[in-house]
Structure 1
Amino acid sequence: MAALALGSWAQASTAAVAALPPARYGQPLALAPGVFALPGGLEGAEPDNQGAVGNLGLIDTLAGPVLVETGGSYRLARWAISEARRLTGRRPVLAVITQARPEFLMGGAAFEEAGIPVLAHADTAELMALRCHECLRRLRADLGEAAMRGTRLVLPGRRIEAGLSLELGGRRIELLHLNGHTSGDLVVLAADRGVAFAGALVPAGRIPEIDPGREATPWRAALRRLGRQEGLRTLVPGYGAPGPAAGLVDAVEAYLAALESQVQALLDAGVDLLEAQRRVELPAWRGWARYEAFHKRNVQRQYLAAELRWLGGVPDPGAPR
């Protein structure tokens, strides 16, 4: 009887998955020979998009393709691995996670199953262990158990403490450690093609989301360093359409500069946090995705960081060292 019940549950579970919309990203965008973006949505994870939020990347090498991000679920990662094989004729040899964002890292189980190593900065792995079990719980609540079937948190097996230059199959791939959006930010640069994948460090047409305990100043500094990167021409943002690197970087830096300036002015004037959240409106960016979801929270996090610095709790991140 128990076996019959288990079989019925398995059939029902399989049927529930089969009834879902396809778990996949958009049509691959060829950016340069052997370099592709796999585009995802600008908004949050929801049943209609099956968690395919943000952009994945693919850099082909003679050794096999490297994927940028593992995707938002086990099902999405399975699709990405299959798509990499379709585009290149080869099995992926590595995946790189740029930041501890759930839409970029929840596909780890599929990569582990396929024997494909996953690399991230050590700080990203630490953040994943600290908070991504809760991210997974929320995704299951938002998307449903069927959509997240097979998804579990798998920490990256390869971890780096600084930037790294990879030589794979005749191609040089630079992993730039920029410490902006999070302390473990990596930008993945196909050096010979002038194409970089920036993850959440550079969203396009989407409000940047300041991480808890972070602020605009180091993020802006990271953007300036990225903008000076020699040979960089095309940028794949974490969200939104790829384009010329300078324009995408400048747009994000402008939002963060305006946020930082207005928050600091209100703090200097003695305005409290709740009033600052009410007053700091940036209409030039209101048309960007996630403005309502992220902007007031960004004001809060920027205010608290600036206030702590004013109280003497932390050094000025913009001060020379």
Structure 2
Amino acid sequence: MMRILAILSAMLCALPALADENIADQYPGSALYSKPVEVIPHVWSAIGATAPPTYENTGHNNNLSFIVTGDGVIVINGGAAYILAEALHGEIKKITNQPVKLVINENGQGHSMLGNSYWSEQGVPILAHVDAAHEFEEYGGQILEGMKRYNREKAEGTFLAGPTETFEDDYIVDMGDFHIEVRYLGPAHSPGDVSVWLPEQSLVIAGDMAFHERLLPIFDDTMTADWLETWDAEFEALNATYVIPGHGHPTNMAQVRRYTKDYLMYLRGKIGEHLDAGGDLADAYYVDQSPYSHLHTFDELATKNAGRVYEQMEFE
């Protein structure tokens, strides 16, 4: 265990500097933005760019993880395009001859589900929360067209393929040497967000429940008060030693707490002060978020986040 902690500590010190948005690709010759790394024994993740999805990063701006269980491989996230899922499978085959037996979609967004097109052709079962499946069914066409615009010829082969199996609360997988709990903890970043919890390893593949390194985005359907409630009641209770977030390098609970829960509380506090002072939406966009200005995607997201929180809190 001490050796694992030392390795993870070294990764945390060395890797974040490589996540800069100005680095177009860390793994030349592959569609993947970075080569998969073994976070703890048998749990791997190909860490995506912390920039928005672009042609240069092929849309690989989230983490594509997999678990080599001893009796098959479980993949977490289909990827943003057929080409990414295919590339990830190629890396898996270099590591093990165990077949991929399950793909888990962490939510209904494109970077989680568009790569299902590849996995469906391999005949691999695909699992998602019922709300994520509904989200993809409703908006999948728009999501696919958006990916085609930035990925151009790299979008070839990608088609809409939803999950083959859905669940509502928890989905338990016992495979090989691993007991795996796919858990819907409650409302968070987007409909149907799930986290993959490995209790025996004290590791959570958090998905978009937890962010660091890049500013989290607040969507129209992101209810920040609910997210905070889910965090306190469910996610924090895991007390995980290792956290693989949806975006950014493997880290720990303290780090994702600082840049997820603490950021949400900070922004809601600033917007609350603005509302108490009689401030309007136009000025709400510019409340002070400077303590988080060092995070990647801050310029793209900060004002949008403030506006959406204002619109929520105005009627709370």
Alignment of 1:282-321 (within 5 A): 282-309=289-316
Contact 1:125 1:159 in 2 (8 A): yes
Work out which of the residue numbers 83, 87, 90 in structure 1 matches 2:98.
Answer: 90
Unaligned 5+ segments in structure 1 are 1-19, 310-321
Cα separation, 1, equivalents of 2:95 and 2:280: 54
User: Alpha-carbon deviation of 1:67?
Assistant: 0.5
Instruction: Give the counterpart of 1:228 among 232, 237, 247.
Output: 237
- Counterpart CA distance in 2 for 1:135 and 1:171 is 33
C-alpha separation in 1, matches of 2:60 and 2:200: 29
With the length of structure 1 as denominator, give the TM-score of the two structures: 0.85
Q: Does residue 71 of structure 2 align to residue 45 of structure 1?
A: no
Q: Is the 8 A contact 1:213 1:305 kept in 2?
A: no
What is the TM-score when the length of structure 2 is the normalising length? 0.86
1:163 to 153, 157, 170: 170
Q: Output the CA distance in 2 between the equivalents of 1:196 and 1:66.
A: 14
Q: d(CA) in 1 for partners of 2:29 and 2:53? A: 13
Whether the 8 Å contact between 1:59 and 1:190 is mirrored in structure 2 is: no
SS class of match (1:147): helix
- 1:223 and 1:245 mapped to 2: Cα distance? 11
Instruction: Identify if the C-alpha distance between structure 1 residues 188 and 239 changes in structure 2 by more than 3 Å, giving closer, same or farther.
Output: same
CA contact (8 A) 1:181 1:219 kept: yes
Change (3 A) 1:273 1:21: farther
Query: What aligned pairs does 1:32-181 form with structure 2 within 5 A after superposition?
Result: 32-144=40-152, 146-178=153-185, 179-181=187-189
CA distance in 2, matches of 1:237, 1:189: 12
Q: What CA distance in whole angstroms lies between the structure 2 residues aligned with 1:87 and 1:174?
A: 24
After TM superposition, give the deviation of residue 21 of structure 1 in Å: 6.4
Deviations 1:1-41 (A, max 9, x none): xxxxxxxxxxxxxxxxxxx9631241222122111111110
Structure 2 gaps, min length 5? 1-27
In 1, distance between residues paired with 2:53 and 2:190? 21
Stretches of 4+ aligned residues off by more than 4 angstroms: none
| Per-residue CA distance 1:234-290 (angstroms, 9 max, x = gap) | 001111111122322233111111111111221232211111112x12111111111
Matched ranges for 1:129-278 at <5 A: 129-144=137-152, 146-178=153-185, 179-224=187-232, 225-230=234-239, 232-278=240-286
SS in 1 for 2:154: coil
Computing the radius of gyration from Cα coordinates, the structure with the larger value is: 1
What is aligned with 1:10?
Answer: none
Q: Does the 8 Å CA contact 1:66/1:93 hold for their aligned counterparts?
A: yes
Please tell me the residue identity of whatever aligns with 2:141.
Answer: H
Distance 2:257 2:96 in 1: 30
CA contact (8 A) 1:172 1:192 kept: yes
C-alpha change, 1:21 and 1:60, in structure 2 (3 Å) is closer
Match of 1:4 in 2: none
Query: Does the CA-based 8 Å contact 1:81-1:91 persist in structure 2?
Result: no
* Counterpart residue number, 2:15: none
Question: How well do the aligned residues superpose, as a CA RMSD in angstroms?
Answer: 1.6
Identity %: 24
1:128-186 deviations in whole A, cap 9, x for unaligned? 11223112111111121x11000112111110011222212242101121221123110
Contact 2:171 2:181 in 1 (8 A): yes
Question: Are the structure 2 counterparts of residues 296 and 132 from structure 1 closer, same or farther at C-alpha, using a change threshold of 3 Å?
Answer: farther
